[in-house]
Structure 1
Amino acid sequence: MTDAHAQHDLHGKTVIITGGARGLGAAAAERAVAAGAHVLLTDVLEEEGRATAERLGERARFLVHDVTSEDGWQRAADYATETFGGIDGLVNNAGIATGQPLESVSVDFFRKVLDVNLTGVFIGMKTVIPAMRERGAGSIVNISSAAGLMGLALTGGYGASKWGVRGLTKIGAVELGTERIRVNSVHPGMTFTPMTEQAGIEPGAGKYPNTPMGRVGEAEEIAGAVVFLLSDAASYVTGAELAVDGGWTAGPTVRYVMGQ
Structure 2
Amino acid sequence: MSFPNPFDLGGKVALVTGSTHGIGAATARVLAQAGAHVVVSSRKPDECEKVAQALRDEGLSAEGHACHIGRMEDIEATSRHLARKHGGLDILVNNAVLSPWRTIDDTDPGLFTKTVEVNLRGYWFLSVEATKLMKPRGGGSIVNISSLSAWHPEKMLGLYGTLKTALLGMSRVFALEYGEFGIRANTVLPGVIDTRLAEAFDGKARERILRKTPIGRLGRPEEIGYAVLYLSSAAGAFVTGASLAADGGMSISMI
TM-score scaled by length of structure 2: 0.91
Contact 1:110 1:156 in 2 (8 A): no
Q: Does 2:36 match 1:37? A: yes
- Equivalent residues, number: 251
Structure 1 residues 153 and 206: CA distance shift in structure 2, 3 A: closer
Please, what is the CA RMSD of the aligned residues? 2.4
**Alpha carbons 2:187, 2:244 under 8 Å: kept:** yes
Matched AA of 2:15: I
**Deviation string, structure 1 residues 117-160 (Cα, Å, up to 9, x no partner):** 11110011111111111111110000011011233322111001
- 8 A Cα contact 2:193 2:218, kept in partner: yes
SS of 2:239's equivalent in the other structure is coil
Q: How many angstroms does 1:69 deviate by?
A: 1.8
Secondary structure at the aligned position of 1:12 is classed as coil
The corresponding residue for 2:149 is 147
Name the structure 2 match of 1:245. 247
Q: Secondary structure at the match of 1:162?
A: helix
| Cα separation, 2, equivalents of 1:244 and 1:21 | 21
- The CA deviation at 1:23 is 0.8
Kindly indicate whether residue 234 of structure 2 is the aligned counterpart of residue 232 of structure 1: yes
Tell whether the 8 Å contact from 2:189 to 2:243 is kept in structure 1 after alignment. Answer: yes
Map 1:1-260; keep pairs closer than 5 Å.
Answer: 6-57=5-56, 59-198=61-200, 208-252=210-254
Distance 1:80 1:56 in 2: 19
Flag the 1:114–1:243 CA change in 2: closer, same or farther, 3 A: same
Q: Deviations over 1:61-95 (max 9, x none)?
A: 11111102222112212222333332001000000
- The one-letter code matched in structure 1 to 2:242 is A
Runs of 5+ unmatched residues, structure 2: none
Indicate the SS of the match to 1:64.
Answer: coil
Distance change in 2, residues 1:163/1:206 (3 Å): closer
Q: Secondary structure at the match of 1:229?
A: helix
Deviations 1:163-218 (A, max 9, x none): 1111111110111111110000000011122233345599x999621222222211
Q: 1:152 to 1:85 in 2, by over 3 A?
A: same
Partner of 1:258: none
Moved more, 116-125 or 102-111: 102-111
Question: Is the deviation greater in 27-36 or in 54-63?
Answer: 54-63
* Distance change >3 Å, CA 126–CA 79, structure 1 → 2: same
Cα pair distance change 1:201/1:107, threshold 3 Å: farther
- Pairwise CA distance, 1:235: 0.5
For residues 46-67 of structure 1, give each alpha carbon's deviation from its aligned partner in whole angstroms, at most 9, with x where no partner exists.
3332111001116201111110
Preserved CA contact (<8 Å) 2:212 2:253: no
When the two structures are superposed, what TM-score results if normalisation uses the length of structure 1?
Answer: 0.89
